[in-house]
Amino acid sequence: MIRFVLPVILTVLFPVGGMYYLCGRFSLIGLNFATICMIYPVVIVFMFWCFFKGIVKLSGSGQEGMGNERLLLIAETGFPLVFVGLLLAPFVFGEKLGMSRLGMGLVGVGLRHRVESEVDIAATRVWLESLDDELGEYTEDGVVYVISSKYFSRSDLPESLRGLKGAMAVLSADENGSARVRLEWGGTPSGHWGIVIGMKDMETPPSEFSPEVKHIVPVEPGVYVWWGE
């Protein structure tokens, strides 16, 4: 039985993307690429072991075990094939079917759920309104400077955002000139992830975005999460 239950769990966690969802939901993003890359070979070896073990048992069972025992053996043998199929599908059919490689698109879904449950968006917007003067133009020694963005340390963020640990926070203006904040994680070979919070009238998702961005998941008007390379 364990050779059936464990492959199902591992399939949900890996090629389906459950591990990436958990990384987004619980801010484990900085660790996911290295950790998953180390675990994957072990998981794949285990799946092959389950497959060949099932083949040996099926070939030795003959026709006498046609009941539940044989059906379980068939399931145990077949599920590793499902695992491999789901693992390879994004690489083979990813662009045609809109599938994200290794289930990484679910990082955005996990982040969205984290924002919905832990971020006080209304309080964040009040903070943003107080920062409108931080952006724009200023003159020094006769030279006009344009402030298009400003970086914040975690201690400078409002209480409503401090629970999102490990993120780089950048203040910028949206297409309406209103302040918005972008929190970003990443910098590993697995890419970057972020949350953008602005006013309700901010275009969500934006019509123009960096070509490196692969997934944008709206949370509500003026708020979205994204993943890119």
Which helix or strand (DSSP H or E) is residue 4 part of? helix 2-13
44 and 126 inside one domain? no
- Return the C-alpha torsion angle 57, 60, 65, 69, nearest 10: -10
Verify that 168 and 192 share a domain, yes or no.
yes
Query: Is there a contact between 131 and 172 (Cβ–Cβ < 8 Å)?
Result: no
> Do 10 and 88 share a domain, yes or no?
yes
Domain that holds residue 137: 106-228
Same domain, 80 and 174: no
Q: What is the pLDDT of residues 175-206, one digit of tens each?
A: 888 889 999 887 655 567 889 999 999 988 77
Same domain, 154 and 198: yes
pLDDT digits (tens, 9 = 90+) for 149-172: 888 888 888 998 988 877 789 998
Do 14 and 74 lie in one domain? The reply is yes
What ranges in 62-180 are assigned the alpha helix state H?
68-97, 106-118, 121-129
How many distinct structural domains can be found in the chain? Answer: 2
172 and 93 in a single domain? The answer is no
Residues forming a β-bridge with 138: 145
Which strands, in side-by-side order, build the sheet including 168-173?
149-152, 168-173, 179-188, 191-197, 223-228, 213-220
Do 31 and 141 lie in one domain? The reply is: no
60 and 136 in a single domain? The answer is no
Q: Which two tokens stand for residue 49?
A: 């072991």
Mean pLDDT of 109-137: 88
Question: Looking at 47, 77, 98, which one is the last position of a domain?
Answer: 98
Q: Considering the entire predicted model, what is its pTM?
A: 0.73
Whether residues 63 and 152 share a domain: the answer is no
Check whether 139 has a pLDDT greater than 70: no
Give the containing element (helix H, strand E) for 161: none
Q: Which of 50, 68, 98 is at the close of a domain?
A: 98
| Confidence bin at 222 (pLDDT 50/70/90) | very high
Q: Looking at 8-22, 34-48, 89-103, which range is the least confident one? A: 89-103
Q: Are residues 91 and 143 in the same domain?
A: no
CB within 8 A of 13, min separation 6: which ones?
19
Tell me what pLDDT residue 224 has: 93
pLDDT at 94: 55
| Amino acid 74: pLDDT | 80
Average pLDDT, whole number, for the chain?
Answer: 78
Q: Are residues 93 and 120 in the same domain?
A: no
Give the position of tokens 């070939």. 59
